[in-house]
Amino acid sequence: MTTFRELAGNHADYERALMNRSLANLERELAIAGRLNLATLLVGLLLAALASIALIRNVRQRAEAAPNWNGNTRNSRRSTEPRRGS
């Protein structure tokens, strides 16, 4: 028959192996979560950059399309100087 010390040793070895497997699984899961967090951050930064570019473009287009002080648009081919002699 096996003695108590042998059984306790076997049980300790089993618990040690179980703990090592659990820690290895946890490290893998944390590595995957870290990569996903980094990917999410990069996608967020990309979307923020695209939104900024769209906003700047929209502001510029509105400024170009807005009429200036005498009613002409900035892209108009007519002269912006007031008419003389009319």
- What are the E-state strand segments in the chain? none
Q: What percent of the chain has pLDDT over 70?
A: 77
Average pLDDT over residues 59-64: 90
Helices and strands (H, E) in the chain, number of each type: 1, 0
Cα gap 22→63, rounded to integer Å? 61
Q: Would you say 74 and 68 are in contact if contact means Cβ atoms under 8 Å apart?
A: yes
pTM more than 0.85 = no
Q: Would you say 80 and 72 are in contact if contact means Cβ atoms under 8 Å apart?
A: yes
Complete DSSP assignment for 68-79: -TTS-BTT-SS-
